[in-house]
Structure 1
Amino acid sequence: MRGRWSVRERLLGSSGLPREVYVLGLIAFCVAVGFGVLVPVLPVFARAFGVDNFAVGAVVSAFAAMRLLTSPFCGRLIDTFGERTVMATGIFVVALSSGVAGVSQSYGQLLVLRGVGGVGSAMFTVSATTLLLTSVETGLRGRAAGFSQAGFLLGGMAGPAIGGLLAAISLTAPFFFYAGTLAVAGAVGLVLLRTRSERLDTTAVPVVPFRQVLGDKRYQAACVTNLAQGWTSFGVRSTLIPVLVVEVLDRPPSWTGIAFACAAVAQTLAVGPVGRFVDTVGRRPAMIAGGTIAGLAILAVPFAPTIWLLIAALCLYGVAAAFLGTAPAASVGDAAGGRGGTAVAVFSMCSDVGAIVGPLVAGWLADTFSYPAAFAVGAVLLLGAAATSARMPPTVAGTAEVASADLR
């Protein structure tokens, strides 16, 4: 069988991945292209209404806040309507709200519309992650999560560059482009994904009580890591770096797109080997390495004297993010037994908490103290996540079972 791998499987470094993984990767690409387009312009667009860095952070937080409030209900929606329907509906909600946000006449309108988009984003994220974890066995979860992440990365690689070009024309054009790519992603999900009954016999998939999952050290480490990533990626990276590029390094907004695109290339090149590493070497070393490297890289960003050194630091952060975007999701699947919308929702909510509080705190620290102080908090959280991951059992997924006593 290994001697007959297709070209696609050789490139992915895995075989036996189900159809859902490939479709979710395609959907992730469409979503990420649109989201990436907004990255260089959203903070600048908000600043155009005459607000300070704290208010800019609030725009990012509004999206995450509604994700957080909506996520607890997503498990029940998935049980009632299925992952495919909930995911497509969520994507269409984000598409509509983003298109309307592009014609906002005030800061208040922009804030509300970004919040509405957060509702749809929660529906998409929880349903897509649940579908991914129920579609693969333990020994393939790292590679499946890596393939899905690759879709986001390829979109993220193209999105900021496109956003930078569109920003040169108009600050509102990226919003409409985002709405269009999301509409395509929702259509792909409805047409190509199978329903739950078509995919598997759900009674054959073990269900682990959430109370038991919550006491699992693997799940605890995954949640802490997701919190740190949400804080750093949304609170520091997406909120302050665009402003840092324009106001400190005196570069146009298009350079933010270039910098983020370079980081996405680095992360994309790393995600294939990282997926195999997570499945063969283990989740624990991947999460320790990812948290440590990411923390040190983000700490160096505000001290970069030139745009090129800033890009180098972001590329290093991108490599670390490949670990942090793959291993925690696989760990959640290991702890929850591949099912459990509640476990996935809480895992997603941890990132949202970081994405809500992070932009506000980072903006306040930048306004009150300095940019290095804002970045330092994110670094401390990432290093703390690495320390929490060190408590995980060192078992390699798919090679041995860990005794219950070792997980708690």
Structure 2
Amino acid sequence: MGRVTDKLPPTVWVLISAAFVIAMGYGLIAPVLPLFAQDMAADVFPDAEITATTVVVSAFAVFRLLWATPAGSLVSRLGEKNIYITGVLVVGASTALTAFAENYWQLLVFRSLGGVGSVMFTVAAMGLLIKISPRHMRGRISALYGAMFLIGNMVGPVLGGVLAGFGYRVPFLFYAFSLLVAAVVMAVWMPSFSPGKGGKHSAIAPMGLREAFRDRAYVANLPGLLAHGWTNFGVRVSLVPLFVAFAVSREAWVAGAAMAVFAVGNALALPFSSRFADRGGRKPMIVLGAIVAGVFTAVLGFATGYVAVFLLCLLAGIGTGMFNPAAQAVVADVVGHERPAGKVIASTQMITDIGSIVGPMAMGLVVDLTNYGIAFLISGLILIFGAVAWIGTPDTIDRTRD
């Protein structure tokens, strides 16, 4: 029997290096985009500027959703590396155009087009992670990949808030440049995996959605992924900067700091949660993480002052850091690395994207009609439901021990 090693494959380091560069660039615009959009939305929709602002944020995810299935098919046909690089370059071009948007409608169009490229490289990245990750290290590799995004998201918002002092357009140009760097990293150092050409498993039929939906763990995982998209990719990105500007300070660096503190909480949880997910099980981390993130998100909208807002963001980040590696590992457990599964992987991304689309728009409307407290309370309860969905469903950890 071959010796099991804990040494990470070199391809993992290539992928996570690109992830860091992308995340840092994304973090640059995270605290700035809602404020940039709000300034333009106020001229067009003076009585519903919050809703109009969240539409700009959600439009990116709408196009991710629309292109998720085509992206999965393209990955299966052309290979993960090619689609990853193409997607990154598309987002880079969209971001550069966003920097030069002159009105609300241009901003909406340019930001929307970035969603096409985003889902291409996201689905490709998930496919690469599944292919290059040994079964006994899925939780840790998923966490490490996520950690690079988190570190980038810690550095990016703070730097983005500082750069915004030179104008809201400057962070977008830096983001476009970082995406070009990520594309070069992948092109030079990531080997190609040619789909269906002489591979060991080229004759094995792909996993289809019908088969995936017969898996209880796959189905139980979906509400949590929906809630994760709703709250952490949607509401947190679109409403937290606006809430901070409303309740604490309108200076861009404060919103950036709140988002960075959330990322710090993620990073603090990852070393423990990823190892526990690989050794103790996926389900405990998913359930506990969703509850912790849900509770502290639910009360965020009632906080006032720097200390309370930053502390709640930190604690919600810890919960998310517990949830995410285990939830991603469940997807890998269900799919396995032996069979093509582009459509199944894309479908999980679609669920997250649906949350990130509906969440900001729905909660933006709630804010316009009521207040931030109700919006964050609803979002926190949705996260908690992601834990409830796992009741009675077996863990998938045993599938890695065959």
Residue-pair matches, total: 390
Name the SS of the counterpart of 1:325 in structure 2: helix
Deviates more, 1:82-91 or 1:203-212: 203-212
Aligned to 2:27: 36
Taking the aligned partners of 1:220 and 1:395, their CA distance within structure 2 comes to: 12
Give, in whole Å, the separation in 2 of the partners of 1:322 and 1:279.
Answer: 14
Query: Aligned-pair distance for 1:291?
Result: 0.7
Cα pair 2:333 2:396 within 8 Å, conserved: no
Partner of 2:56: 59
Describe the shift of the 1:200–1:224 C-alpha distance in structure 2 as closer, same or farther (beyond 3 A). farther
Q: Which residue of 1 aligns with 2:15?
A: 24
Change (3 A) 1:200 1:267: farther
Distance 1:172 1:209 in 2: 43
Tell me how far 1:219 sits from its aligned partner: 1.0
CA contact (8 A) 1:21 1:147 kept: no
For 1:72, the aligned partner's letter is: T
Aligned to 1:45: 36
Equivalent position SS for 2:389: helix
Shift, 1:266, TM fit? 2.2
Q: Contact between 1:29 and 1:155, CA under 8 Å: does it hold in 2?
A: yes
2:12 and 2:132 in contact (8 A); partners too: yes
**8 Å contact 2:207–2:344 — kept in the other structure?**
no
- Quick one: distance in 1 between partners of 2:61 and 2:223? 17
Partner of 2:370: 369
Change beyond 3 A, Cα 1:183–1:271: same
Amino acid at match of 2:12: V
In structure 2, what is the Cα distance between the partners aligned to 1:153 and 1:306? 24
**What does 1:219-238 correspond to in 2, within 5 Å?**
219-238=218-237
Q: Residues 187-202 of structure 1 correspond to what in structure 2 (within 5 A)?
A: 187-197=184-194, 201-202=200-201
Matched with 1:9 is none
Aligned to 1:253: 252
- 2:208 is equivalent to residue 177 of structure 1: no
State how far apart, in whole Å, the 2-side matches of 1:350 and 1:276 are.
26
Q: How many angstroms apart in 2 are the aligned matches of 1:384 and 1:242?
A: 25
Kindly indicate whether residue 380 of structure 2 is the aligned counterpart of residue 379 of structure 1.
yes
The 5 Å alignment of 1:211-290 reads 211-290=210-289
Do structure 1's residue 314 and structure 2's residue 302 form an aligned pair?
no
* Residue aligned with 2:262, SS: helix
Structure 1 residue 395 displacement after superposition: 5.1
2:206 & 2:109 partners in 1: Cα distance? 37
Contact 1:222–1:329 at 8 Å: present in 2 too?
no
- Asked if the contact 2:157–2:257 (Cα under 8 Å) also holds between the matched residues in 1, the reply is yes
- In structure 2, the CA distance between the partners of 1:191 and 1:288, relative to structure 1 (3 Å rule), is same
- Residue of structure 1 in register with 2:70 after alignment: 73
Inter-partner Cα distance in structure 2 for 1:395 and 1:343: 17
CA distance in structure 1 between the partners assigned to 2:398 and 2:133 by the alignment: 13
In the TM superposition, residue 234 of structure 1 has moved relative to its aligned partner by 3.1
Between 267-276 and 342-351, report the one with greater CA deviation: 267-276
Between 128-137 and 112-121, the greater mean CA deviation after superposition: 128-137
| Aligned partner of residue 299 in structure 2, secondary structure | helix
Looking at structure 1, the residues matched to 108 and 60 of structure 2 have their Cα atoms a distance apart, in angstroms, of 8
**TM-fit CA distance, 1:305:** 1.7
CA deviations on 1:294-320 (whole Å, 9 max, x unpaired) are 100101211112111111111111111
Following TM superposition, by how much is the alpha carbon of 1:200 offset from its aligned partner in structure 2, in angstroms? 6.3
Unmatched 5+ stretches in structure 2: none
**Residues 317-336 of structure 1: matches in 2 within 5 Å?**
317-336=316-335
Match of 2:183 among 181, 186, 191: 186
Deviation at 1:251, TM superposition (A): 4.0
* 2:341 aligned partner: 340
Identity level (%)? 36
Determine the C-alpha separation between the residues in 2 that align with 1:205 and 1:267.
Answer: 37
What letter corresponds to residue 278 of structure 2 in structure 1? D
Cα deviation, residue 398, structure 1 = 5.5
User: Over the residues paired in the alignment, what is the CA RMSD in angstroms?
Assistant: 2.0
CA distance in 1, matches of 2:86, 2:375: 36
The change in CA–CA distance for 1:214 and 1:165 in structure 2 (over 3 A counts) is: same
Note the 1:349-360 alignment, pairs <5 A: 349-360=350-361
- What does the per-residue CA deviation read over 1:241-264, in whole Å, with 9 as the maximum and x for residues that have no partner? 111111222341210111211221
Relative to structure 1, is the Cα distance of residues 207 and 140 closer, same or farther in structure 2, using a 3 angstrom cutoff?
A: farther
1:137 lines up with 2:134 in the alignment: yes
The question of whether the paired residues in 2 share the 8 Å contact of 1:217 and 1:391 is answered with no
Deviations 1:103-125 (A, max 9, x none): 10110000001110000000010
Counterpart position of 2:296: 297
Paired AA for residue 96 in structure 2: G
* 2:11 and 2:190 in contact (8 A); partners too: yes
Calculate the TM-score normalised by the size of structure 2.
Answer: 0.93
Q: How much does 1:63 deviate?
A: 0.1
- Determine if contact 1:74/1:123 at 8 Å carries over to the other structure: yes
Q: What runs of 5+ residues in structure 1 fail to find an aligned partner?
A: 6-13, 402-408
Give, as a single letter, the amino acid of the residue that structure 2 aligns with 1:271.
L
Residue type at the aligned position of 1:391? G
